[in-house]
Structure 1
Amino acid sequence: MVFSWLLTACSTAHFAKVPVTKVTIAKQSGNASLSTLPQQGNPVNNALNQYQAWLSSASTQAQRLQQDQQKADVILSWQLASGGFFKHKPAVYLKPWDGQSPRSGWLGDNGTEVGTIDNNATVSEILFLANVFQRSHDKRYKDAARRALDYLLIMQYPTGGWPQVYPTRSQYPQGVTAYSSYVTFNDNAMIRVLLLLDLIKQQHAPVNNQLFSAAQHKRVEQAIATGIRYILKAQIKQNGVKTVWCAQHDPVTYAPKPARIYELASKSGSESVLITSYLMSQPQTPEIKQAVLAALRWFDQVGVKDRAYVKIKRENKGRDPLYNPIQAAPGKTMWYRFYQLEQDVGFFSDRDGGVYFDIMAISQERREGYSWAGTYPEKLFKYAQQVGYYTR
């Protein structure tokens, strides 16, 4: 299926990290009252901190502001015509755009440079520019942050999800959908967008003090509500029972979708953690609570006891073709990154697109060059138990 029509519709549609110290009650329409969970310990709380590494650590406040403004000026030069940003490595922001080099590694239709939310892109730039604006009051940074927010709002599908890039990448054969056009939970991309929108909605620093317009705030609230609806509808059911999510989903049918050839459609033991954590940051409607509890039960059921995933050290990569990263570990629990859609069986893959149940059956290059398992939901379980939501 090609989603160009849907992207066009999105371009014209104008449709948290928010810690609280106690349970609050949010009044809703009618007579219902919805509890909001205490947020201390929620795994989402540190999900937007990457931009802070860009801030100067100079010894004086004046020096820090001067250096941060210099970096902000560089970032402004790299902003795309769409308002978004590409996923640049830190070294790119050491010098301004030269006016000729590509500002994006990908192109869309008619040679349009493509922005992205992958690798924290666009979200981190908004937060950094907002931080520098609050200290400098330089209107250029506010204007750039507003343009970037408009980009995020425009790229949202009418159904509520966010693709990895916008506009659509063009380097795919006609009739083939780029995986970057799917709704992207991979590497927590969509959840970071929603967390940013939550900060904006609730006027938390650095996106406070009327940084964004009243019209933008209205669109932000609508985008959050639509995004949450998408998450709830996309939750994968297995034999009629809700489980978790895939790293990518179809924006129209909500079906789980593949990405790179070794990233098959599956139930994700990794990305589903922050999705669940995000839902726990929201007012607990019956639908949200049902989704959260279903995900927690699934995680509890599929963990592999007495095993640990121990990646080979970087300096040893390529040296030991017999090294097995899945090791015996009494008392530990491991979760696979990929679980089959039709049953709770973890699997691996390779550049041939095959399904393997033994990690030693895939190539050494993929075995060492990708993360296949981990302790993904441990912090989520700790938080859920802390707030009295779930006990293992």
Structure 2
Amino acid sequence: MAGPLSEESRYQPISIDGFYDAIKHWDDRTGENAVPHYQLHQIEKIADNILLYQRDSGGWPTNKHPLRVVLDEERVVALENQNLADASFDNRNIYPQIQYLSEVYKQTGNVRYRDAALRGLRYTLDRQYPNGGWAHSPDRHERAYYRHITIADEVMPGVLGFLRKVAEGKPPFGYIDSKLRQRAASAVARGDALLLRLQVRIDGKPTGWAGQYHETSLEPVKGRAYELPGILAWETVPVLEYLMSIPNPSADVIAAVQGGSAWLESAKLSGFRIAKVDTAGQRFDYHAADYDLVVVEDEQAKPIWARFYDLKSSEPFLANRDGSKVYQLSAVDIERRTGYSWYGYWPERLLQERYPVWKQDNGL
């Protein structure tokens, strides 16, 4: 044991922040707590897990926990599933795996991790629509929203931020050749132009972004049954953060950031807060909860945002799994009330800190 452990100990831990969403979804779904996990310095073990779940296409399915010590029977199933066409960019997926594998290659020099990362990069580039967008799950057809251009869960902004680093050769992507970097740069240019085009306008004024858009008409469309077409506050934030990361922004990028930030400012709500109240524990299909959420009137509460706003009136709304639109949290079934973020403070830091700094940096 001394040999392998000493070998592992010389590696520097690599951040797994990019897998936060996947880990949370895995834990919520399984509720498991007895499976052992690798430590952060065991980077090759973690990378081997990532390789285990990579599909033949080069992509990855969602919500796989990269730190779990995989049981032998699970490993057999995972190997059998490598030919599945179920890769997805949902839940901040695929680009974190490529980033991690590139970091591991940088430390170990093991070309298996480099080659897997390059396959993932080529998958990402190959799956971009000609109009510049990326689908939720490019190879899946069971549900319409799998094919829609997706902003939600940082699909478009996450992929574009990743590809921008690749195109610029930023660490850990210095090993990628000039041809692939140029492909990444071209993909970014098309994606940036589409992001600007997709910004929702009300009476000619730019607002935020919808969660998903039809892949050909580019009209806002619903995702899952309770994700109705609308302007989404949470999803607008990473788009603006991505646009603000662009050096020497064009006039169009500046106008999009200013318009989106102004809309977020206008969309904030006041006079109430969301409180947790204890209830008997329940396990649903995708999560467990021993609490409920209620609206509490509070004139001293800080501003809060709804997740969904109407495309024409900017009025906040919510929904149920049956697709019914409602306007009060109490009208949402408890499974969706506790299993989805209908209200939050997502734009707070952007408006208070990042946007003012961005304006100053750009002389605005």
TM range (shorter): 0.7 to 0.9
Q: Quick one: distance in 2 between partners of 1:369 and 1:387?
A: 34
Shift of 1:249: 1.1
Which residue does 2:258 correspond to in 1?
293
Aligned with 1:270 (options 217, 230, 234): 234
Cα pair 1:248 1:257 within 8 Å, conserved: yes
One-letter amino acid matched to 1:186: A
Shift of 1:314: 8.7
One-letter amino acid matched to 2:141: S
Which residue does 1:193 correspond to in 2?
159
Deviations 1:77-131 (A, max 9, x none): 3211110111133168533842666537xxxxxx842211112221111111111
Aligned with 2:355 (options 384, 387, 390): 384
Aligned with 2:179 (options 215, 224, 227): 215
Aligned with 1:121 (options 93, 103, 109): 93
Which residue does 1:160 correspond to in 2?
132
Q: Does 1:183 align with 2:158?
A: no
Which residue does 2:122 correspond to in 1?
150
One-letter amino acid matched to 1:200: V
Q: Quick one: distance in 2 between partners of 1:183 and 1:135?
A: 35
Instruction: Quote the sequence identity (%).
Output: 27
Q: Quick one: distance in 1 between partners of 2:80 and 2:309?
A: 38
Cα pair 2:131 2:190 within 8 Å, conserved: yes
Cα pair 2:53 2:79 within 8 Å, conserved: no
Cα pair 1:162 1:183 within 8 Å, conserved: yes
**CA spacing shift, 1:352–1:142, aligned 2, 3 Å:** same
For the residue of structure 1 that corresponds to 2:294, the secondary structure is coil
Q: Quick one: distance in 2 between partners of 1:135 and 1:329?
A: 53
Q: Does 1:103 align with 2:74?
A: no
Which residue does 1:304 correspond to in 2?
269
For the residue of structure 1 that corresponds to 2:81, the secondary structure is coil
**CA spacing shift, 1:48–1:252, aligned 2, 3 Å:** farther
Cα pair 1:51 1:128 within 8 Å, conserved: no
Higher relative contact order (CA 8 A, sep 6+): 1
Deviations 1:192-233 (A, max 9, x none): 11111122122222222x2x2221101000011111011000
Q: Quick one: distance in 1 between partners of 2:291 and 2:54?
A: 44
Q: Quick one: distance in 2 between partners of 1:128 and 1:271?
A: 24
- Cα RMSD over matched residues? 2.8
Q: TM-score when scaled to structure 2?
A: 0.80
Aligned with 1:255 (options 181, 204, 219): 219
Q: Does 1:85 align with 2:60?
A: yes
Deviations 1:38-70 (A, max 9, x none): xxxxxxxxx993259999756xxxxx3xx2112
Cα pair 2:240 2:257 within 8 Å, conserved: yes
The range that moved more, 248-257 or 212-221, is 248-257
Shift of 1:329: 5.0
**CA spacing shift, 1:297–1:313, aligned 2, 3 Å:** farther
Shift of 1:264: 0.1
Matches within 5 A, 1:127-142: 127-142=99-114
For the residue of structure 1 that corresponds to 2:195, the secondary structure is helix
Cα pair 1:304 1:333 within 8 Å, conserved: yes
One-letter amino acid matched to 1:374: G
Q: TM-score when scaled to structure 1?
A: 0.75
Which residue does 1:342 correspond to in 2?
312
Cα pair 2:38 2:68 within 8 Å, conserved: no
Aligned length: 322
Which residue does 1:361 correspond to in 2?
331
For structure 1, the 5+ residue unaligned runs are 1-46, 59-63, 105-110, 173-177
Which residue does 1:333 correspond to in 2?
303
For the residue of structure 2 that corresponds to 1:333, the secondary structure is coil
Q: Does 1:226 align with 2:190?
A: yes
Cα pair 1:234 1:245 within 8 Å, conserved: yes
Shift of 1:326: 5.1
Deviations 1:116-165 (A, max 9, x none): 11122211111111111001111111111101000000111111111011
For structure 2, the 5+ residue unaligned runs are 1-14, 24-36, 283-288
**CA spacing shift, 1:200–1:258, aligned 2, 3 Å:** same
